[in-house]
A and B are shown apart, each in its own frame.
Chain A
Amino acid sequence: MLKTYAYPKFSYCQSAEQREGRVARHPIVVVGAGPIGLTAALEFGRRGLRTIVLDDNDTVSVGSRAVCYARRPLEIWDRLGCAERMVEKGVSWKVGKVFFHDDLRYQFDLAPEAEHKMPAMINLQQYYLEEYIIEACKALPAVDLRWKHKLVGLRQEADHAVLTVETPDGAFEMEAEWVVACDGANSATREMVGAKFSGQFFQDRFLIADVVMKADFPAERWFWFDPPFHRGQSALLHKQADDVWRIDFQLGWDADPDEEKKPEKVIPRVRAMLGDSREFDLEWVSIYQFACRRIDDFRHGRVLFAGDAAHQVSPFGARGANTGVQDIDNLGWKLKLILDGAAPLALIDSYNAERAFAADDNLLASTRSTDFITPKSAMSRRFRDAVLELAGEYPFARPLVNSGRLSTPTPYVGSSLNTPDEDAFAGAMAPGANCADAPILVEGRNEWLLNRLGGGFVALAFGEAPAISCVNWGGVAARILVVGADFQDVKGLVGERYDGRPGTVYLIRPDQYVAARWRGFDAAKIERAIARACAA
């Protein structure tokens, strides 16, 4: 199996601290080098924070795993300088089709709004994604990736944690001012701090297979309810890079995972689905079951949780890795300001407030999809089938079809970091919303707004340029970016998406979320809003 991809092997290196037998104190230790831990390393490293990543393995993800990456995480990776490769290698898609029995019942298009740099969604095997982020990390002197380093113990002190780490050379201790646990749904770190991880467990099993074949199916998401080739269950087909196709089969709870994984069981299923005798190779097979659960608090003392370690969702709707990356987007600038002493420690608590709120939003969406796809009673199955039958003929039933709602960022409505509006605005860019991208022109070149916003505080001003170039609160500066002066709003979409008029100012956070907005430029108000966004 696995013929299209050669797995890199990263060499284990004994650290100087272990060799010399000294206990070193590090600003940040990330546990786990999956997509979230690696994104964390890249985010922290690019902010100049020395970051050590511990991973008990020495290669990338085995199998395609996460597969679907949505626009917002791509925008985050673009800020971190590695999204263009992902988009180039990945398969962009926007049409989803839903079949019931033999028939197409419903079709959706993910990207109603054009003129964003990043596509609505790409499919890319997780190993490519991890490989690209690792390469980007290796270019950063601040990031130290330590393979074959397994966290086996953790003790918390008032202002740091003490970690016991096992390597091929034995165990040693290290200290971290902050630990960022990205060690997945079965997080050992979570156990070590005694956190609760509760929610709903679903009694169902899914078979996932990566299949290599030449096929002229379009790059679309195809979802089947109760198809003739897989009676009573659901199935999903997705195109990935290198002619690899991802196929998911719902198996039910009684399926024997070891038996179902055998090629002699998988191949006939795939053959029945393809419905012809075309050649294909099986690259990777896995069985999974899932739960919708969340950690009680994203922060336990000096340990911060992100990704599946903090929240586990069903796979329908691509909410796992996609929301994990957004956890890191939220966390990076906060840790930077706290470690630099530029913001109070209280800022870290907004990480739990904002990301637990987002996790709950995702869990709700994911649980609803799961209830539709895998009905828990005979009558809920009847309702589900009724929706699917009606959807073919009657438009009203189509919005009820739920084969997974695709992940969109959760606005931090009501976050204490937001400055509430005092002026009237139209559109979606309210405090707590993530900034919409738009095409702009910079010195005659076509660029994108989000690339110009970058990763610091920005005051985005419309109309006449203010006399100053930045607003400072303590050691935190907001760079002033003037629409029409620093760049041209060539298509008028910045003005349209931000309801910008002469005098309008937005204060934008380093994670490209709106912190505050006004109809007139007032440096004192901007300064107060920066302080508020830093929990001061």
Chain B
Amino acid sequence: MQLTLSPNIADPDGFYQQLIDSQREMSEAEAELMNCKLILILANHIGDREALRQALAAAGGKID
């Protein structure tokens, strides 16, 4: 599966605000933990290993 890297979110400003607001009250440590959970939840939703590999690479991660 090819990773979607073209705009795909309806109401981008609304989503972005929701993302920032969701962590507004958190300490750095709490926000980091939430980010980790979010990555895991979204990764499971995608499921496809090839799409996940492309996402890791697109985010600047090192891929063997």
Residues of A at under 8 Å CB distance from B?
379, 382-383, 385-387, 389-390, 394, 396-397, 400
Contacts and interface: CB of A to CB of B under 8 A. Distances in A.
Contacts of B3: none
A379 to B, nearest CB: 7
B32 A389 contact: no
Nearest to A395: B44
A389 B33 CA distance: 10
B33 A386 contact: yes
B36 interface: yes
A431 B63 CA distance: 33
B44 A386 contact: no
Residue among A383, A389, A397 with the highest chain B CB neighbour number at 10 A:
A383
A386 B39 CA distance: 10
A226 to B, nearest CB: 13
B32 A390 contact: no
B62 to A, nearest CB: 14
Contacts of B35: 382
23 contacts: A379-B36, A382-B32, A382-B33, A382-B36, A383-B36, A383-B39, A383-B40, A385-B36, A386-B33, A386-B36, A386-B37, A386-B39, A386-B40, A387-B40, A389-B33, A390-B37, A390-B40, A390-B41, A394-B41, A396-B41, A396-B44, A397-B40, A400-B40
A379 B32 contact: yes
B38 to A, nearest CB: 9
Is the contact region of chain A dominated by helix, strand, or loop, or is it mixed?
A: helix
Contacts of A387: 40
Nearest to B36: A386
Nearest to B32: A382
Given A382-B36, A397-B44, 18 more contacts: A379-B32, A379-B36, A382-B32, A382-B33, A383-B36, A383-B39, A385-B33, A386-B36, A386-B37, A386-B39, A386-B40, A389-B33, A390-B37, A390-B40, A396-B41, A396-B44, A397-B40, A400-B40
Contacts of A386: 33, 36-37, 39-40
Contacts of B33: 382, 385-386, 389
A394 B33 CA distance: 16
Contacts of A385: 33, 36
Interface in B22-41: 32-33, 35-37, 39-41
Contacts of B39: 383, 386
Contacts of B40: 383, 386-387, 390, 397, 400
Nearest to B45: A396
A387 B35 CA distance: 12
Residue among B33, B39, B40 with the highest chain A CB neighbour number at 10 A:
B40
Given A379-B32, A382-B32, A389 B37 contact: yes
Residue among B32, B35, B36 with the highest chain A CB neighbour number at 10 A:
B36
A113 B39 CA distance: 34
Nearest to B37: A386
A383 B33 CA distance: 7
A371 to B, nearest CB: 15
Contacts of B32: 379, 382
A182 B34 CA distance: 48
Contacts of B37: 386, 389-390
Contacts of A397: 40, 44
A345 to B, nearest CB: 37
Contacts of A389: 33, 37
B11 to A, nearest CB: 26
A386 B32 CA distance: 10
Residue among A385, A386, A387 with the highest chain B CB neighbour number at 10 A:
A386
B64 to A, nearest CB: 13
A125 to B, nearest CB: 39
A385 B32 CA distance: 11
Nearest to A386: B36
Contacts of A394: 41
B33 to A, nearest CB: 5
Nearest to B34: A386
